[in-house]
Amino acid sequence: MDPKTLLRRAGLEVEGTPLPLHGGDMARVWRVGPYAVKLAENPPPGLFAAEARGLRELGKRGVRVPRVFHVAEEGLVLEYLFPGPEDWEGLAAMLARLHRKREEAYGAEPGFLGTFPLPGRRGGDWTEFFYLRCVEPLLQATWDRLEGLGPKVEALFREPLPTEGPAPLHGDLWHGNVHFAQGGPALLDPSFFVGERGVDLAMMRLFGGFPTAFWQAYQALYPLPEEVERALPRYQVYYLLAHVHFFGKGYLGALWKAISAS
């Protein structure tokens, strides 16, 4: 499908040629007038519905996200947010407000990390929740490629993870999912669930891209306890398993480093 076909199906016909935008590894994105159109070839069922739900959940909690105009199995029609200046302090303030919010319990609808399906889960002990909902499905999917690291991953979650309280999370917060727009920073492409804020911070630390200005501002607004800091490598294991799944054994070294630091 092409961007204009999806716009027509949404009743949002626009003149002009679609302009390709930088997208992620899982989809292609175009700007068509006031809209951003996101499409993927043969996406897993429910992928874009889950993304739209995550954007709406973050928006309800005060995070700036693009408005969702149309959801289909093939793609999304979103508001196009015009680029603006970098504002790392503004991003820190937005995320600190999000992470300070407290929900009734840990919880997740069935969703995705990238295109990898994750089960729904509600409540219970945080360590068990995180392992069963996030880590175990990816561990099973990658076990034969882990070259003996599987049991070491399992052992990481026999000790409890620290808890500060159930908080809403973006869930896949690498720098490519931050958009500095006119009027302030926005978040894109969430893997939304309610968990511990260390999950978001672990992904932000994993591949860099967030400068000292961000971390200084975030720490000033919502300081990170030492026990949460120490737990970040265990959360990074989740994302590194996903990278092994999608991109191969080249990430085993980073996975071993995270295991060793835990």
Query: What is the 3-state secondary structure of the chain?
Result: CCHHHHHHHCCCCCCCCCEEECCCCCCEEEEECCEEEEECCCCCCCHHHHHHHHHHHHHHCCCCCCCEEEECCCEEEEECCCECCCCHHHHHHHHHHHHHCCCCCCEECCEEECCEEECCEECCCHHHHHHHHHHHHHHHHHHHHCCCCHHHHHHHCCCCCCCCCCEEECCCCCHHHEEEECCEEEECCCCCEEECCHHHHHHHHHCCCCCHHHHHHHHHHCCCCHHHHHHHHHHHHHHHHHHHHHHCHHHHHHHHHHHHHC
Residues involved in catalysis: 172
